[in-house]
Amino acid sequence: MRAINYNIVIEKIKEKPTKIAGLEIIEKLDTDNRYSKAKVISAGHKIECIKNDDIIYYDKNNGYGITWGDKMYHVISIGNVVLVE
């Protein structure tokens, strides 16, 4: 599987719940944090700054899911990426 143009195939990385003032905040309840962490599976051929296996932060409100083999991946565009580790 290979992404084309300005698309990026990612695998979401689940974050551990954080504790704030003794309360556990899980990802679904964390409305202040708009960005999620993911591993890049494939970056399109027009993208130069992101490589396969990079860890990125992206806008979790965009993109769509795709199933390949037995795994669930997500497809986002380069405009949704805000940070590369």
pLDDT class for 53, splitting at 50, 70, 90?
Answer: very high
Q: All domains of the chain, ordered by start, with CATH? A: 7-84 (2.30.33.40)
Q: Would you state the pLDDT for residue 79?
A: 96
Residues 62 and 8: their CA atoms lie apart, in Å, by 12
Q: Would you state the pLDDT for residue 24?
A: 72
Q: How far is CA 30 from the centre of its chain?
A: 16
Of residues 23 and 56, more confidently modeled: 56
Between vectors from CA 10 to CA 81 and to CA 44, what angle results, nearest 5°? 70
Q: Would you state the pLDDT for residue 21?
A: 79
5-44: pLDDT as tens digits: 999 999 999 877 777 777 776 655 556 678 999 999 999 9
